[in-house]
Amino acid sequence: MTTLLAHEWLAPIGGSENVFESLSSTLPGSRRVCLWNDAPHRFGPDIEQTWLSRSPLRRSKAMAYPFLASAWKRIDLTGVERVVVSSHASSHYLASRAADAGIPSFAYVHTPPRYVWAPEFDERGQSLPARAGRAVFKNWDRGHTSENVSFAANSQFVRQRMQDAWGVDARVIYPPVDVEGIQGVGDWRAEITDEAERRKLEALPERFVLGASRLVEYKRLDAVIDVGEELGLPVVIAGSGPFEDRLREIAKKRKVPVTFLGYVSTPGLYALYQAASLFVFMAIEDFGIMPVEAMALGTPVVVSEIGGARESVEAVGGGIVIQPSAEGIGQVVSWFQDASLDSSAVASRTLAFSRASFATAVETWLEGK
């Protein structure tokens, strides 16, 4: 079967790119296409790119947005027997076009475009042009979404957003997490190649609360500091971003020490998971891969009741789900003191979110079962 596999823009790192990579492995030999490819070293030179890749528009996703439908319309579907797309912005337009032409089409959806449908979670949706054109963009996005497509969502949270935005239903297939690779290393500190980074990690307290992400406001790293304060444990924050200065101001007013590590490597992040007493992830995300990574190493986690992260925690039983409020944060203390998690059992149950589990679920979906 000739399969066309599509994604929007390809970046060197990213959760949606991980899905596209896993889909490529699950569907070897597929013809692959994207709007533009910013990671040829990762995905190879054989991926087709649209006319946008030769346009200055590729440098601004916001400016390119009105032209995405046009780009997908120019993809040649001659001889294509099946279309599979990974979509967080617009590649579901291609699936819809193909489905309406009678070609079996499947769309794995990370989210309907957040800057259109959930601007509170995406700074691009808060710009003046985005606010002014939101009603038009919603009608346009809904109009390019066909009910003839077989949809999959990356969480129940996104499934509900798809129903609200597009009026379509989807099965849920959680995205692949490299659980096998994470659990395949006994001590991630030994995998750190940067000596300065290793020394930073070795100097950390024996017990601490960990937060890690890009330091932007909606990631709620301030809640990590609040949890540490409630528990009386030092706080370690990994990552960089524009909210760092504000976080440092907050930290100065707390009784517990707060260490800012800045950027850490992937082995460094995994080593932090292993060393942490608790990982706090209060961002409202479509799914949330980091809590699964932490639980894969047996580390308990705290997540918000809003968003997709709660789904993995509830499935694995590796943490507590709380309200993003002072009252919710207060609940962590009694839970943490009374929790008797079996870290080995927690780690074992995260295999439900592994790459192998993802591949099996995708194959079942594409077979129509």
How many Å apart are CA 160 and CA 280, to the nearest integer? 25
In a 3-state reduction of DSSP, which class is residue 266?
helix
Domain containing 361 — which CATH number?
3.40.50
Mark whether 170 and 270 lie in a shared domain. Answer: no
Mark whether 68 and 215 lie in a shared domain. Answer: no
Mark whether 147 and 216 lie in a shared domain. Answer: no
Cβ–Cβ < 8 Å for 308, 287: yes
Output the pLDDT for position 122.
60
Mark whether 284 and 315 lie in a shared domain. Answer: yes
Cβ atoms within 10 Å of 164's Cβ, excluding its own: 11
How many Å apart are CA 251 and CA 332, to the nearest integer? 19
Mark whether 188 and 294 lie in a shared domain. Answer: yes
Domain containing 272 — which CATH number?
3.40.50.2000
Mark whether 23 and 44 lie in a shared domain. Answer: yes
Mark whether 168 and 195 lie in a shared domain. Answer: no
Output the pLDDT for position 259.
97
In a 3-state reduction of DSSP, which class is residue 104?
coil
Q: Can you give the pTM of this predicted structure? A: 0.91
Cβ atoms within 10 Å of 37's Cβ, excluding its own: 22
Output the pLDDT for position 128.
59
Mark whether 202 and 170 lie in a shared domain. Answer: no
Output the pLDDT for position 261.
97
Cβ–Cβ < 8 Å for 17, 35: no
In a 3-state reduction of DSSP, which class is residue 241?
coil
Mark whether 190 and 322 lie in a shared domain. Answer: yes
Output the pLDDT for position 129.
60
Partners of 354 in the beta sheet?
A: 177
Pairing of strands 319-322, 258-262: unpaired
What are the per-10-residue average pLDDT scores of the chain (369 residues)? 95 90 95 94 90 92 88 96 96 97 97 82 60 77 94 97 96 96 96 95 96 91 95 96 96 96 96 97 93 96 94 93 88 84 92 95 95
Q: Residue 109 has which token pair?
A: 């959806």
Structural domains in the chain (count): 2
Mark whether 265 and 281 lie in a shared domain. Answer: yes
Mark whether 162 and 117 lie in a shared domain. Answer: yes
Mark whether 185 and 283 lie in a shared domain. Answer: yes
Per the structure, the complete domain to which residue 268 belongs is given by 179-351
Output the pLDDT for position 63.
84
24-50 pLDDT, tens digit each: 999 999 999 999 999 999 998 889 999
- 109 sits in which H/E element: strand 105-109
Q: Residue 333 has which token pair?
A: 């203390």
* The residue to which tokens 């059992």 are assigned: 345
